[in-house]
Structure 1
Amino acid sequence: MQLILREYNLKLKHTFTISRESIDFQPSLIVELKSDGFSGYGEATSNPYYKTTVPVMMADLEKIKPLIEATEDETPEEFWSKIHPHLKENMFTLCALDLAYNDLYARKKGKKLYQLWNYTTENNPMTDYTIGIASIEKMVSKMQELPWPIYKIKLGTKEDIAIVKELRKHTNAIFRIDANCGWGVEETINNAVELKKLGVEFLEQPMKADNWEAHKEVFKHSVLPIVADESCIIEADVAKCFNHFHGINVKLVKCGGLTPGKRMIEEAKKLGLKTMVGCMTESTVGISAIAHLLPQLDYVDMDGALLLAQDIATGVTIKDGIIYYSELNGTGVTLL
C-alpha cells in the first residue's frame, strides 16, 4: 500500500466567525492510500483550538509510513487498532488515515461504504447550513444567498436573541443554535425559553466543555434539547454525556475517524441520546465520508464543502439540504 499526502489551503466564500475565532482560509490535509489499482481518500482540517496543524499531521504520518505501507488486507477496525497507539496524541491525523483506509477497503470490496455496513438510506436526515457570526445585516444576507430548510446559527455575542429574532423575519426554516461554549448556566436556560419561541430545534454546546455541573443543571432545566460537541470528543466521553446532554455531535476529526465514530454513535443510541455528526469545514473528501453515517443519525451538519469558494474534489452532492451519493464505490470521492 502506498501513502500519498497533499496539503491544501481551502478558501472560504465568506469570513467564517464563531465565538472564539474568525477564518478566511481552512488548511487541510488529504491522505491517499493506493493499493491494487484502487485509491482511498481521507481528510482532516487544521484547528487552533485543538492545537493541530497540517505540517504536524504530515510529520505524524511520515514517522509511521513503513507501518502504514506494510498493511494490505486488514479490516478497517484492525487497521485502526494497530495505528491508534502511534497517533493517539493526534486524532485529527488518525481520522484522515482512517477515512482513506475505509474508502480504499470498500472500493476493493466493490461496494459503497454504507452498503458494506449494511445501512439503508431511505430515512437519511437533511443537513443544515451554517451562518457564522457577523453583523445582523450580513447574517441575513448570507441566509438569503442560500435559501435552506435548516440553518445552524453560530452565536456567543451580546446580541444573540436580537440576531435570531431578525433572522426569523426572513425565513420559516428550522433553526439550530451553536454557541461554541460562549454562554453561562442562567444565560443558557433563559435563552432557551426565548429561542424556543423563535423555532429553534436544539442548542449545541452552549457552555464550556469541562463544566459538567453546569451541563447537568442546564440539562435539568432547559426547555430545549442540548447537544454536546466540545464535551464529546472521543469514545470515552459518550457515557459522560448521559444525563448531562440530550444528544452528542460526533466530529470525525476529533474522535479519530469513521471507525470510532461508528462506535460512538452506537453507544449513544444505547444510552438514549440523539445522534449527530458535524464537520470542521472539510472539502467534499471529508464530507463524503460523513454521508455514509447518515442512516444512523438524527441530525447532521455536513455543509463544509458548501462554505468553500472552490472545492478540491467530487463525491456526494447536496441540494436544498438533501444529500445525494456518488455513483462510485467507497465514499465516492475523486480529487479534482
Structure 2
Amino acid sequence: MNIRHRIIELPFHYPFTISKGTKTHQRIFQVELEWRGTRGYGEAPEIAYYNIPAATMQSDLENKLKFVENFALTTPDRFWHFLHHLFPSNPFLVCALDIAAWDLYGKLMRKPLYQLFSADPSEMPVTDYTIGIADSEAMIQKIVDNPWPVYKIKVGTAGDIERLRDLRTRTNAVLRVDANGGWTMYDAENNLGHLSEMGIELVEQPLSKEDWEGIKKLKAISPLPLFADESCVTESDVGKCSEGFHGINIKLTKCSGITPAKRMITEARSLGLKIMIGCMNESAIGTAAIAHLGPLVDYLDADGPLLLKDDPVEGLKYIEAKLQLVPAPGLGVNVDPFY
C-alpha cells in the first residue's frame, strides 16, 4: 500500500464550548491508503484532553510508515490487530488507519460498509444536534437558527439548570444532556430531579471518569438513563460500565476505530446496555464511518459536519435529521486524492 497523510483545520460555525474548554477550529489528521489505484480514507480529530495532537499522529505514522505500507491487507480486522500492537499508545492514529482500511476494503469488495456489517439503513436513528455551553440567549439563538428534533445540550458549569429551563421554554424538541464529567456528586444528585421534570431524555457522563463508586450510587437513584462517555474509552471498559451506567457512548476515535467498535456493540448488547455512537467533531469522512454503524445502535450523536463551517468532503447527507446511507462502495463519500 501507498500511504499519504495530512493535517487540516476546519472552523466551527460557533465557538464550541464544553465543561473542559472552548475551541473555534477543529484540527483533524487524515490518511489515504492506496492499493493499485483504489483509495481508502480515514481520519481522527485532535482532542486536547486525550493528549494526542494531530502532529503526534503524523510523526508516529512517519516513524513506522514502511511497516504499515508493507503490510499485506487481507481484512481490516487483521490490519487493526497489526496496528494495535504497532501503535499501542496512539489509538487515534489506529482509528484513522482502520477507517481508511475499511473504506478501501469496501471499495475492493464493491460493497458499502453497512452491507458488510449487515446493517439496515431503514433502522438509522435520528442524530442529535449539539448546543455548546453559552449564556441562555446565545444557546436559544442556536436552536432558533438550527431547527432539529433532538438536541444534545452541553452542561457542567454553574447555572446549568437555569439555562436548561430557559431552553425548555423555547423548544419541545427531545433534549439530551452531556456534562462531560463536569458535575460533582452533589451537583448530580441535585440536578437529576430537575432534569427529569423537564423531560430530559438521558444524561451523559455526569461525574468524573475516575468516580466509579459515585456513579454506581448515582445509577441506583437516578430517574434518568445515565450514559458513559469518558468512562467508556476502549473495549475493556464496557463490562465495568454496566455496573454504573444504563448505556455507553462508543466513539471511533477514542476506541481506535470501526473494528473494536463493532465488538463493543456486541458486548454491550450481551450486557443489556443501551448504545450510542458519538462523534468528536469529525468531518464527513469520520462521520460516514459512524453512519454505517448507526443502524446497529439505539442513539446517534453524529453532527460533526453540521457544526463545522467548511468541510472539503462531499457525499454525506442528512434528511429529516437522519444520516443517509448510499449504496456506494466503502464509506460512500467523495474525497479528492491526496497529492
TM over 0.5: yes
Which residue is 2:36 aligned to?
A: 36
Q: Give the corresponding residue for 1:89.
A: 89
Structural RMSD (CA):
1.1
TM-score norm. by structure 2 comes to 0.97
Partner secondary structure for residue 292 of structure 1: helix
Higher mean C-alpha deviation, range 189-198 or range 157-166: 189-198
TM-score computed with the length of structure 1 as normaliser:
0.98
CA distance in 1, matches of 2:106, 2:128: 27
Counterpart for residue 222 of structure 1: 222
2-structure distance, mates of 1:288, 1:36:
24
State the 1:21 CA deviation: 0.6
Q: What's the % identity of the aligned pairs?
A: 45
1:285–1:315: 8 Å Cα contact kept in structure 2? Answer: no
**Amino acid of the structure 2 residue aligned with 1:79:** F
| 8 Å Cα contact 2:117-2:293 kept in structure 1 | no
The answer for unaligned runs of 5 or more in structure 1 is none
Contact in 1 for aligned 2:121/2:325 (Cα 8 Å):
no
Q: Deviations over 1:85-131 (max 9, x none)?
A: 11120111110000000110011000000101222222211100000
Identify the residue that residue 312 of structure 1 maps to in structure 2: 312
Query: Could you say which residue in structure 2 is the equivalent of 1:270?
Result: 270
Pairwise CA distance, 1:327: 4.5
Cross-structure match for 2:150: 150
Tell me the alpha carbon deviations over residues 162-221 of structure 1, each in whole angstroms, 9 at most, x when there is no partner: 111111111110000001111122321321111112121000001100110001001100
Determine the structure 2 residue equivalent to 1:321: 321
The alpha-carbon deviation at position 83 of structure 1 amounts to 1.3
Farther-moved stretch of structure 1 (48-57 vs 180-189): 180-189
Structure 2 alignment gaps of length 5 or more: none
Deviation at 1:335, TM superposition (A): 2.0
C-alpha distance in 1 between matches for 2:63 and 2:259 = 22
Quote the offset at 1:328 in angstroms.
2.4
Question: In 2, Cα distance between the equivalents of 1:158 and 1:245?
Answer: 24
Superposition map of 1:183-198 within 5 A: 183-198=183-198
Alpha-carbon contact 2:121-2:324 (below 8 Å) kept? no
C-alpha separation between the residues in 2 aligned to 1:329 and 1:71? 22
Deviates more, 1:126-135 or 1:308-317: 308-317
Aligned length: 336
Counterpart residue identity of residue 289, structure 2: A
Which residue matches 1:61?
61
**Inter-partner Cα distance in structure 2 for 1:327 and 1:117:** 13
Write the distance in 1 (CA, Å) between the matches of 2:168 and 2:333: 36
Aligned-residue offset at 1:315: 3.0
CA distance in 2, matches of 1:156, 1:85: 36
